[in-house]
Structure 1
Amino acid sequence: MADKLKWGVLGGTSWIARDAIMPGIRKSRNGRLVAMASRDPAEAKRRFGEEPGVRTMGYDDLLADREVDAVYIPLPNSMHAEWAMKAAAAGKPVLCEKPLGLNAAEVTKMFEAFERAGVPLMESFMYRFHPQHRRVREIIDSGVIGEVLEVRSHLSNDMMSPPDPANVRFVPDLGGGVLLDMGCYVVSCSRMTMQAEPVSIRGWQKMDRRFGVDVADGAVLEFPGGRMAVVSCSFETTGLGHYSVIGRKGMIEVPRGLVLGLGSFVPEALIITVDKNGARIEEELPADDHYQRIVEAFGDAVLNGTSMPLSPQESINNAKVLDAWAQSIRDRRDVEIGSAG
């Protein structure tokens, strides 16, 4: 069995590939970057230079390259399904950026294609691999905040000062809009923290008519037992990515739960408030690179022939909630999860 997974990146000029995943591959204990694909390989070489051992080529050439063991896809949302399924047909395992597809039907179709091809596919939710969430779970399980009744999650970044019309997030045909780009995170976070699936959702939205995409969204999710999650995302407000877990006796605040800096990670504090006696405890965790962690976790699963750490059903369920959120906005009503159409 090989001890290094040889990676090819399909769309290596995107910021998430260039500044996050590719450095994660370089630092990983079980991966090696061997190829980068671009629509214009010559332009990619001119802009980014040549890295020893990393060849630049076209998309189809990368999928046909026998040296490439696995593919990372950071392309615009509307291109995920097409190129992931082409990679499956070429026998390549794929780590694909979130959201995996434009809707639950597309996500299901993608996993079916990979199952037929006998290779794995995983959605790249890097935040899930940061150890701070394991610590949050330990605190919840300790009972210090009591029964968890509510989760609040928010993700935002100011892209409107001024907006760049060339940004794929402002192009409807490329799967633009904040619901797909950031809403997938806050839904995933609420489901992860509740350890349950929501039963219904009521959402609202702000559209930017210049671009025809949503730039701010919010929703309330109902979970079993009368619990709830309040989620929001925005292209208009300052860069934030936090969540709070609210229990009968206290609360956990995770100030950088969904987004961290790139390259150098500053230790972030978990702020725990126990309402019972008014105590406020701050716990600082060491710096960590969740991009490196997701690369290594994916690589371990491929190299060892084990299940992916994020399952197909996890991605399908997340997409179903996003579908219901979108329908709730269209219909201006509560929508049961799974009934969206």
Structure 2
Amino acid sequence: MGRKLKWGILGTAEIAKIAVIPAIQQSERGEVLGIASRNADKAAEAAQEFDIPKSYGSYEELLADPEIGAVYIPLPNHLHEEWTIRAAEAGKHVLCEKPSSLSSAGTSRMIEACKSAGVIFAEAFMYRYHPKHRRIKEIINSGEIGDIRGIHCTFTFNNADQADNVRFNKSMGGGSLYDAGVYPISAARMYLDREPEAVTVHALFSPEHDNVDMMASGLLGFPGGVNLTFDCGMWAANRSNMEILGSKGTIAMPKMFGWERSSVVPQIFVHVGSVTRSRRV
């Protein structure tokens, strides 16, 4: 095994603590060398909790550390563009939480900065690296369900009572589309290997939550006459399901975007004709 990639974490967000830091620490190819916060005490507390060697009282300090080769950015959405570009300029590879930025122009600037610096830039859609999605792609490519006619996807949960959640701050890029709706859109683009050419979205905005979109539903038209229909929300029961409709059959995937522990074996249901098969991944 070669040298491990040394990671720095920009921020002490919960997703970093419950998912990403433990994952890197369990990896044979990476280690978390440092964590930064604008509050030095918070950074030191997180470093102690996760046995991270270094802590920093600013993001700039972490980026200036020559030992760190890559950074994970779980900051609020409106900060993704700035700190991805600054990390690239510091020569760090970047794994940035979704959405990459709040606009396509912002994402283009991030990509260009990383290309110019010769570093890797990746958006942290964790689901893309789970074997269940590779298996779905294999089934689609095999022709078993025929030509793809449409995709329907849902992703909802209810955290509307969390008044201080950054998802409910409009100026920080809050809202269900940025937090949950990006998943169905990303998945459809991945499965179809195409980009949408028409988009229609209707949303429910809540004055109680800084007028961010708490629920949304959309229709995306892709080349070849294939549509994605989806709904997402932060004000409804937990659900995360997908169905891919083909000319001969369907693929159904419950718990589509969850990050299950290794003891949970995901299942894919393939229905062709009168036969439904369950496939473990």
TM range (shorter): over 0.9
Rounded to whole Å, the distance in 2 between the matches of 1:91 and 1:70 is 8
Label 1:241 to 1:48 Cα distance change in 2 as closer, same or farther (>3 A).
farther
* More moved, 140-149 vs 30-39: 140-149
Shift of 1:51: 4.1
Q: Secondary structure at the match of 1:182?
A: helix
Is the contact between residue 240 and residue 259 of structure 1 (CA under 8 Å) also seen in structure 2?
no
Structure 1 residue ranges without an equivalent (≥5): 286-341
Query: Which protein, 1 or 2, shows the higher relative CO under an 8 Å CA cutoff with sep ≥ 6?
Result: 1
Rounded to whole Å, the distance in 2 between the matches of 1:249 and 1:60 is 55
The number of residues matched between the two structures is: 279
Shift of 1:103: 0.6
Rounded to whole Å, the distance in 2 between the matches of 1:52 and 1:236 is 36
Is the contact between residue 199 and residue 218 of structure 2 (CA under 8 Å) also seen in structure 1?
yes
Rounded to whole Å, the distance in 2 between the matches of 1:47 and 1:131 is 31
Rounded to whole Å, the distance in 2 between the matches of 1:242 and 1:66 is 43
Rounded to whole Å, the distance in 1 between the matches of 2:263 and 2:202 is 34
Is the contact between residue 44 and residue 56 of structure 2 (CA under 8 Å) also seen in structure 1?
no
Amino acid at match of 2:277: I
Is the contact between residue 153 and residue 242 of structure 1 (CA under 8 Å) also seen in structure 2?
yes
Q: Secondary structure at the match of 2:236?
A: coil
Q: Does 1:41 align with 2:40?
A: yes
Is the contact between residue 153 and residue 189 of structure 1 (CA under 8 Å) also seen in structure 2?
no
- Structure 1 counterpart of 2:182, from 158, 181, 184: 184
Amino acid at match of 1:142: S
**How is 1:58-137 mapped onto 2 (pairs within 5 angstroms)?**
58=57, 59-137=59-137
Rounded to whole Å, the distance in 2 between the matches of 1:106 and 1:200 is 21
What corresponds to 1:313 in structure 2?
none
Amino acid at match of 1:220: L
What corresponds to 1:257 in structure 2?
256
Q: Secondary structure at the match of 1:225?
A: coil
What is the TM-score when the length of structure 2 is the normalising length? 0.94
Label 1:55 to 1:225 Cα distance change in 2 as closer, same or farther (>3 A).
same
Q: Does 1:284 align with 2:280?
A: yes
Please list the CA deviations of residues 276-301 of structure 1 after superposition, one character each: whole Å capped at 9, or x if unmatched.
2x11111112xxxxxxxxxxxxxxxx
Rounded to whole Å, the distance in 1 between the matches of 2:141 and 2:50 is 46
What corresponds to 2:244 in structure 1?
245
Q: Secondary structure at the match of 1:18?
A: helix
- Structure 1 counterpart of 2:201, from 178, 200, 203: 203
Shift of 1:256: 1.9
Amino acid at match of 1:213: V
Shift of 1:257: 2.1
Shift of 1:115: 2.1
Label 1:264 to 1:2 Cα distance change in 2 as closer, same or farther (>3 A).
closer
Rounded to whole Å, the distance in 2 between the matches of 1:8 and 1:221 is 37
Label 1:26 to 1:234 Cα distance change in 2 as closer, same or farther (>3 A).
same
What corresponds to 2:267 in structure 1?
269
Rounded to whole Å, the distance in 1 between the matches of 2:45 and 2:135 is 44
CA RMSD, 1 decimal: 1.7
What corresponds to 1:336 in structure 2?
none
Amino acid at match of 1:256: K
Is the contact between residue 151 and residue 188 of structure 2 (CA under 8 Å) also seen in structure 1?
yes
Is the contact between residue 44 and residue 55 of structure 2 (CA under 8 Å) also seen in structure 1?
yes
Rounded to whole Å, the distance in 2 between the matches of 1:20 and 1:143 is 35
Rounded to whole Å, the distance in 2 between the matches of 1:71 and 1:77 is 16
Q: Does 1:139 align with 2:135?
A: no
Structure 2 residue ranges without an equivalent (≥5): none
Structure with more of its chain in strand, by fraction: 2
Please list the CA deviations of residues 282-327 of structure 1 after superposition, one character each: whole Å capped at 9, or x if unmatched.
1112xxxxxxxxxxxxxxxxxxxxxxxxxxxxxxxxxxxxxxxxxx
Is the contact between residue 47 and residue 53 of structure 2 (CA under 8 Å) also seen in structure 1?
no
Shift of 1:258: 1.6
Amino acid at match of 2:119: V
Rounded to whole Å, the distance in 2 between the matches of 1:202 and 1:217 is 10
Amino acid at match of 2:120: P
Rounded to whole Å, the distance in 2 between the matches of 1:227 and 1:50 is 48
Q: Percent identity?
A: 38
Shift of 1:2: 5.2
Label 1:47 to 1:88 Cα distance change in 2 as closer, same or farther (>3 A).
closer
Is the contact between residue 8 and residue 36 of structure 1 (CA under 8 Å) also seen in structure 2?
yes
Is the contact between residue 21 and residue 32 of structure 2 (CA under 8 Å) also seen in structure 1?
yes
Rounded to whole Å, the distance in 2 between the matches of 1:37 and 1:251 is 46
Amino acid at match of 1:185: Y
Label 1:143 to 1:47 Cα distance change in 2 as closer, same or farther (>3 A).
closer
Is the contact between residue 78 and residue 101 of structure 2 (CA under 8 Å) also seen in structure 1?
yes
Rounded to whole Å, the distance in 2 between the matches of 1:195 and 1:123 is 17
Amino acid at match of 2:56: M
